[in-house]
Amino acid sequence: MRLVVGITGASGAVYSWRLLQELNRRKVETLAIMTRNAEKILKCELGKTPEDIYGLATEHYDIDDLTASVASGSQPFDGMIVVPCSMGSVAAIAGGVSRNLLLRVAEVCIKEGRPLILVPRESPVSVIHLENLLKLSRAGVIIMPACPGFYHRPKTIEALVDFMVGRILVRLGFEQDLFEPWRGNVT
Ligand SMILES: Cc1cc2nc3c(=O)[nH]c(=O)nc-3n(C[C@H](O)[C@H](O)[C@H](O)COP(=O)(O)O)c2cc1C
């Protein structure tokens, strides 16, 4: 499997970090693309550099390189996940404004009918955010807001992060062992 992992400047850089680690574990080929703001958030939240992220990916592309192979629908890849996804990028994808490579690859996924998963993070959300997300959902985009559950009784931030990453992996068709699924055992 060959997946594009897009990383934007919403809070939650750790989700992309953990997802790339888990995709690696499953021998998935990953193509990473980060926005400029994602680089800043990555430094602020995790103290890491883009090179650290790229070290987890099979390949990476410059956000401004609109001539990259993945900018074309003729290039085979199996889908894309944008995690975390800023509301700015949500709006641009919903509006079909492909002003950088990440947005263009998202557009390619929609037009080619390939899976596109967005993991938005914002609170509160405005009517503009909601309308953009609705429009994308109607276009077949999978919207997975970064809002972990608590029914697995997380004790650490890592457990909360892994809940989201586990859910994303399942949505991509993988098995996950990052959290205990709900088994109906209310005690
Ligand atoms: C510290 C920090 C945290 C941010 N968190 C969010 C967020 O959680 N969600 C969001 O939509 N935008 C957030 N933003 C704003 C985006 O970074 C901004 O809208 C940017 O233009 C997004 O561009 P990009 O999608 O190209 O990365 C944050 C900005 C900063 C500086």
CB of 10 shorter than 6 A to ligand 1 = yes
The residue-averaged pLDDT of 40-58 equals 98
97 in Cβ contact with 104 (< 8 Å): no
- Which residue's CA is the nearest one to ligand 1's atom 9? 10
135 in Cβ contact with 106 (< 8 Å): no
Reference 19, options 132, 179, 166, 137; nearest CA is: 166
pLDDT in tens, 74-132: 999 999 999 999 999 999 999 999 999 999 999 999 999 999 999 999 999 999 999 99
pLDDT in tens, 119-164: 999 999 999 999 999 999 999 999 999 999 999 999 999 999 999 9
CB of 87 shorter than 6 A to ligand 1 = yes
Mutate to test the pocket of ligand 1, among 53, 86, 123 (most ligand atoms within 8 A of CB): 86
- pLDDT in the model for residue 157: 97
Is a pLDDT exceeding 80 seen at residue 186? Answer: no
Structural domains of the chain, with CATH: 2-171 (3.40.50.1950)
Is a pLDDT exceeding 80 seen at residue 172? Answer: yes
CB of 94 shorter than 6 A to ligand 1 = no
Mutate to test the pocket of ligand 1, among 36, 37, 42, 126 (most ligand atoms within 8 A of CB): 37
- pLDDT in the model for residue 5: 98
Is a pLDDT exceeding 80 seen at residue 185? Answer: no
Spatial distance between the Cα atoms of 146 and 163, rounded to a whole number of angstroms: 10
- pLDDT in the model for residue 187: 67
Spatial distance between the Cα atoms of 102 and 6, rounded to a whole number of angstroms: 6
- pLDDT in the model for residue 97: 96
